[in-house]
Amino acid sequence: MFRAIINAFRIKEVRNRILFTIGILAIYRFGANITIPGVDATKILEQVETGIMGMMDLFSGGALGKFAVFSLGIMPYITASIVMQLLQVVIPRLEQLAKEGETGRRKINQIARYMTVGLALVQSTAMVFFFKNFGAIPNFDFMHVTLIIITLVAGTILIMWLGELINIHGIGNGISLLIFASIISRIPGEFISLFRLRGTNYFFLALFAIISIGIIIAVILIQQGERKIPVQYAKRIVGRKVFGGQSTYIPLKVNQSGVMPIILAISVMLFPATIAQFIPNRWVQSFANVLSPTIQGRINPIYAITYTILIIIFAYFYTAITFNPLDTADNLRRYGGFIPGLRPGKNTADYLTNILNRITLPGAIFLAIIALLPEVLINYMEIPFRFGGTSILIAVSVALDTMRQLESQLTMRDYEGFLK
């Protein structure tokens, strides 16, 4: 690995891409520490310690706790992208655009950008009214509120642009790397909090280290775990050449949907609390309180059950969107491929659907356990460490993807990559 890093910096083009990516991440971290004028950040920090707000603060790299320029983070853009993926299933025109290649993808991305601005406007307005209830905005007048909302929306747009710059001139997926930087930036502070609470209790620290390593290993195993479906291609003779005849496989991942079910579940769980800020109705407020993550310092069982069910539902739903067995079976038949022992067409599609349904359930249950793990550590084991399973899941996924992309750059120049 270290040899691969040295080789990467020896190549001017790869070195420039790495340095450009690091520079963009530095700009992002700088903006995440600039507090918006006219805000009392100390009142906000008390509200983002745990629960959903704590998860949002984690994804923003601590920017929400400071009410910084980048407090909204990249979540509005992620939400808009997810919505566009869902709409492609129900709107034929968007489905057609998705099949038009690069041109259609650009149009869909353009719509997602406009949707991001609208979502950022709604979320920033809700955030202002939410923190106003705790005295975080001393001068709550039209001018101050407008300034805060415009700043938050502009921050989200700037983050979206920075992510696209990394995609063009850097290495890795820009949006994923920004989230990765936000999560990693919290590690030193969380370790300091842990040591302040537990001091020199070496048994506890050793136990915590074992738990952390176990979580990382489990996440890597689930992320890399896949069911390989063997595929055989028939031989075809075109002129004097013989094509096909080789064997390959279709990789069906245990966690086909990645971290998206958790993000979607968080968005749904956050919705009642957001609506409660605009509608001063006791029924709406009561419903929001029912879905509160904690009750009297303990995990709310209704929240935990609802959160788990939503993650499992969204895992199946998002997997159905990202992998279509009918299209896969049709493509296999079109190019002369078949799964040994199965007839091409419907039988193949049914077989793939059955396998996908069986391996998605354990992956979804794993995601639910990972999502609830931080609350368990905080509320029952009194461990003030929010770098939980969801964060590790995202960090490991982004790190593996970035290493693969850097490996491809080195492989093109006959260097040994990270994963060899």
- Pure H helices in 11-136: 12-31, 41-45, 51-59, 63-66, 75-90, 92-98, 102-132
Mean residue pLDDT of the chain comes to 79
Where do the domains of the chain lie? Answer: 11-178, 225-385
> Is residue 48 within 8 Å of residue 54, measured between CB atoms?
yes
Q: Which of 66, 398, 86 is nearest to 220 (CA)?
A: 398
Strands 294-295 and 298-299, how do they pair? antiparallel
DSSP code at position 50: S
Residue 225 has pLDDT above 80, yes or no: yes
pLDDT of residue 241: 64
pLDDT above 70 as % of the chain? 81
Is the model more confident about 196 or about 222?
A: 222
| Count of beta carbons in the 10 Å neighbourhood of residue 280 | 8
Helix (H, G, I), strand (E, B) or coil at 37: coil
Q: With cut-offs at 50, 70 and 90, classify the pLDDT of residue 118.
A: very high
What pairs with residue 231 in β-bridges?
248
SS (H, E, C) 129-193: HHHHCCCCCCCCCHHHHHHHHHHHHHHHHHHHHHHHHHHHHCCCCHHHHHHHHHHHCCHHHHHHH
| Domain at 225-385: CATH code | 1.10.3370.10
Q: With cut-offs at 50, 70 and 90, classify the pLDDT of residue 197.
A: low
Q: What is the mean pLDDT of residues 62-79?
A: 82
pTM here is: 0.75
Residue 139 has pLDDT above 90, yes or no: no
Is the model more confident about 385 or about 126?
A: 126
Is the model more confident about 52 or about 378?
A: 378
Q: What is the mean pLDDT of residues 184-206?
A: 71
In angstroms, what is the C-alpha Rg of the chain? Answer: 24
Q: What is the mean pLDDT of residues 399-414?
A: 75
pLDDT of residue 92: 83
Residue 157 has pLDDT above 90, yes or no: yes
Q: With cut-offs at 50, 70 and 90, classify the pLDDT of residue 105.
A: confident
pLDDT above 90 as % of the chain? 7
How distant, in Å, are the alpha carbons of 68, 149, 154, 242 from that of 126?
16, 10, 16, 63
Helices 174-184 and 389-411, packing angle to 10 deg: 130
Q: What gap in Å lies between CA 306 and CA 301, rounded to an integer?
A: 8
Domain pair 11-178 / 225-385, same fold:
yes
Is the model more confident about 144 or about 269?
A: 144
pLDDT of residue 158: 93
pLDDT of residue 114: 92
> Is residue 371 within 8 Å of residue 305, measured between CB atoms?
no
Of 227-241, 273-287, 321-335, 395-409, the range with the lowest mean pLDDT is: 273-287
Biggest CA pair distance of the chain: 81
Say which CATH class 11-178 falls into.
mainly alpha
